[in-house]
Structure 1
Amino acid sequence: MVKRCFLISEQSLGVPVEQIGACVQHGFMAALQARGYRADAEQQRAIDTLARWLQNWSTGRRGWLRKPAAGVYLWGGVGRGKSFVMDAFFAAAPLAAKRRVHFHAFLQELQQRMQAFAGHPDPLVLAIRALAQDIRLLCFDEFHVHDIGDAMLLRRLLDVLVGEGVGLVMTSNYAPAGLCPNPLYRDRFTPAITTLENRFTVVALDAGIDYRALPGSEQRWGDYVWPHSAGGLAYLQTWLGLDEQAASEQVLEVNHHSLRVKAMAPGRAWLEFSELCGNAHSTADFLWLLQRCPRLALSGVPTLDSQPTDACQRFINLVDIAYDAGATVLISSESSLERLCRGSPHQDFARTRSRLSQLRVHELHVSEGIGHGAGGVIDKEF
């Protein structure tokens, strides 16, 4: 009689390990059918790779004289189905100790965990090991590197998680070699690139169907209003539901520094671009704000090619965090969305532009007694 092997109860939903790959394949097909999609060859190859990897990794199966792959790294341009494939994989993976996390939220959690080990040698490693005790499979969305702090942290994060036996699935807009283009600190990140290229199965998902362009796939997560001078203020106040009970011109203390808010009410806030993105606010500040105010209005957004790189980076981070958190946003500007996005040199802006394109665009026209205040409204697609 052949003994059947099961994953331990804390990590399993009761599925025999020999059926894990089939579970992933069936889950992917169900996700496709639910949306009326059909996978192209690139997406099917990606899910086949993920199913095969999870099957082999769960059983400890490896090649001759080779360690099993530590995970799968999916990369490609925006709209090619990376997140869809990973979400379907994550939902179908029959493991209880699994997490899907976004880049910024994960780094904040890691930094918070480090506080518990203050005064100990190497609190970062201790925090990562503590986190690894609760996770068997980690799906890491939007993996990218922007500064020396990220480079150093992610390099050690990969080393420790792989060493602790945590399975990793990551999506990125960049191939491993393109993750850290800044020559000032690329050398320090090179070991992490080597780990990704040598210990992970790297899958390019850079061709085929653009899921975001399919009919019915729109994910409208907010509004874009322009020009602000044609009635944007009244539109914004109505959109936020601000009344005489709303607090105006507040200065909040966030992570040991001030954050100026134009107006706020329970779950809602209005800020200026010059404050939120023009000043030195961190992703931790954005997370703090959106956790308390998931309905956010941002006014005074300028054309991005007129802004310094650090302000553009903060805007990109804000869009990423709000989008991933399921927040609802209103962006108000004097310029059309097309003009606002034109000419941005930032390497990550293709993803941001794609997400902004999913906002409902309202072009305001000055006319008596029409629309909100003095502005009539015309809805347009970007």
Structure 2
Amino acid sequence: MVELKYIYATRASEGTIKADPAQEAVLPELERIRQDLAAPPPKRGLFGRAPRPAPVKGLYLWGGVGRGKSYLMDLFVTHVSVPKRRVHFHAFMQEIHAGMTEARKRGVDDALAPVADKLVQEVRLLAFDEMQITDITDAMIVGRLFERLFDAGVAVVTTSNRHPDELYKDGLNRALFLPFIEMIKDRLTVWELASPTDYRQDRLEGAQVYFHPADAAARAAVDDLWHDMTHTPRARARATEAQQKMQQRGVGLPGEDGLVLKVKGREVRLARFRNGVARVSFWDLCGVPLGPADYLAVADAVRVLILEDVPRLGISNFNEAKRFVTLVDALYEAGTRLVVTAADAPERLYLEGTGAFEFERTASRLREMQSEGWGADG
């Protein structure tokens, strides 16, 4: 079994990645977890009962955005041979809630128990991207859930932008959440990835982020950006026409993560989401009845939004145009990076009809968001 540090070094020597001392320092810790997971299972006990797997201390990897946390986790997960799952933490918690709802419909008293038991049966490793607790319901569930996972020998590796002590900071009834924080610090190695470089920002620094017209050349350029920021294989980055139609219906490509945001009982679907980067069509976000709260949730959930196929705007698609303005405002205020393919330049997207004058402010913001260094502090 080739150690992760050698795989990393090979990729660096080939120019696939840029070697980073802060990232290299984490590799032995990931290798330890990998080796522990690969150890032979304990022998069966009396009466042939299968014992629980030996507990493996996982990792809580935290640090600023774009430092390579998700890349390191993907490198690790790819080279682990036990049953595993890698999932965005927000999407994972939505699945837990859905499973609990189904259990309640069956009359189960402890709705969390069957959901946790199913996870324990399916995986030995759970890898979470971007752990963040902002919801009181999640805060009340997550402690019990993780305790069951840890007791069953499921290893956890997670990334986060925050130190565990900062999770659910200032949240409602936070005192009830504090035991979970202590559990995290006890059961996982807490490691700060203190790289000075924001690689996600660097990938866009000086790069073209607004493409017009939205033709094959623009799509190919966006494919390359998507690949570079998400480490998605290029063969998968280029969607077929049928797959593009799937994405417009809110269905992600096989093997890629999607994200569904719950906002006041509504669902906001991001068909393609990975490493904090979302890729959607204009119609995904502006062709459906969404409002400011939905777009604020998107801006909060993603670091980079790739928005494709923005059409010319006017009276024929006035409602969609208004939503586009609201979306741009939300992204602008949050400092979220925006990559766009559009029918024309910002100033020529909305030339006549009600709202054309007001759109000049949106066009100005779109221009500003293309400037070098914009969003670096967002």
1:152 aligns with 2:136: no
Which of 168, 178, 192 matches 2:166? 178
1:102 aligns with 2:85: no
Q: How does 1:24-35 map to 2 (within 5 A)?
A: 24-33=4-13
Aligned-residue offset at 1:168 = 0.7
C-alpha separation between the residues in 1 aligned to 2:349 and 2:151?
65
Aligned to 1:46: 26
Residue 84 in 1 paired to residue 68 in 2?
no
Partners of 1:218 and 1:170 lie apart in 2 by 31
Alpha carbons of 1:215 and 1:189: their partners in 2 closer, same or farther (altered >3 Å)?
closer
- Whether 1:73 and 2:56 are equivalent positions in the alignment is no
Secondary structure in 2 aligned to 1:168?
strand
- The one of 182, 187, 191 aligned to 1:194: 182
Alpha-carbon offset, residue 69 of structure 1: 5.0
The residue type equivalent to 1:286 in the other structure is: V
**Which one is further off, 107-116 or 122-131?**
107-116
**Among 364, 369, 377, the residue aligned to 2:346:** 364
Distance apart, 1:161 and its partner CA: 0.9
The equivalent residue for 2:3 is 23
**Aligned CA-pair RMSD:** 4.7
Which protein is richer in strand relative to its size? Answer: 1
Q: Which amino acid aligns with 1:160?
A: R
Q: Distance in 1 between matches of 2:59 and 2:201?
A: 26
* Alpha-carbon distance in structure 2 between the residues aligned to 1:278 and 1:115: 15
Q: Secondary structure at the match of 2:30?
A: helix
- 1:142–1:171 Cα contact (<8 Å) kept: yes
Query: CA–CA distance in 2 between the matches of 1:364 and 1:175?
Result: 40
Structure 2 distance, partners of 1:360, 1:218, is: 17
Alignment match of 1:203 (pick from 161, 168, 191): 191
Q: Displacement of 1:278 after TM fit? A: 12
Separation in 2, partners of 1:57, 1:278: 35
SS of 1:133's equivalent?
helix
- Which residue of the other structure, out of 264, 269, 276, is the alignment partner of 1:280? 264
Residues in 1 aligned to 2:38 and 2:179: alpha-carbon distance in whole angstroms? 26
- 1:70–1:162 contact (8 Å) kept in structure 2: no
Matched residue SS, 2:172: coil
State the Cα distance separating 1:129 from its structure 2 match. 1.3
Distance 1:269 1:167 in 2: 35
Offset of residue 152 of structure 1:
1.2
Q: Does the CA-based 8 Å contact 2:83-2:125 persist in structure 1?
A: yes
Q: Is the 8 A contact 2:308 2:341 kept in 1?
A: no
Question: Within 5 Å, which residues of 2 pair with 1:159-170?
Answer: 159-170=147-158
The 8 Å contact of residues 73 and 201 in structure 1, kept in 2 or not, is answered as yes
Distance in 2, matches of 1:368 and 1:135, equals 51
**Quick one: structure 1 residues 29 and 155, their matched pair in 2 at CA, closer, same or farther if it must change by over 3 Å?**
same
Does the CA contact (< 8 Å) of 2:5 and 2:28 recur in 1? yes
Question: Aligned partners of 1:191 and 1:33: how far apart in 2?
Answer: 44
Q: After TM superposition, give the deviation of residue 334 of structure 1 in Å.
A: 4.3
Equivalent residue of 2:153, what SS? coil
Aligned partners of 2:331 and 2:338 also within 8 Å: no
User: Which residue among 298, 302, 311 is the counterpart of 1:315?
Assistant: 298
Structure 1 residues 256-335: aligned runs within 5 Å: 267-268=247-248, 280-282=264-266, 285-287=267-269, 290=271, 295-297=281-283, 298-299=285-286, 313-316=296-299, 319=302, 329=308, 333-334=324-325
In 1: Cα distance, 2:142 partner to 2:350 partner:
56
Q: Aligned with 2:191: secondary structure? A: strand
1:60-105 residue CA offsets vs partner (Å, 9 max, x unmatched): 89xxxxx965310000111111111111111122x14111111232
Distance 1:278 1:166 in 2: 28
Distance 2:5 2:192 in 1: 19
Instruction: Please report how far the alpha carbon of residue 188 of structure 1 lies from its aligned counterpart in structure 2 after TM superposition.
Output: 1.6
Number of positions where the alignment pairs a residue of Structure 1 with one of Structure 2: 288
Normalising by structure 1, report the TM-score. 0.60
Per-residue CA deviation, residues 351-378 of structure 1 (Å, 9 max, x unaligned), is: xx2xx34556875224999xxxx99x99
* Aligned sequence identity (%): 27
**Does the Cα contact within 8 Å between 1:98 and 1:136 map onto a contact in 2?**
yes
TM-score normalised by L of structure 2: 0.61
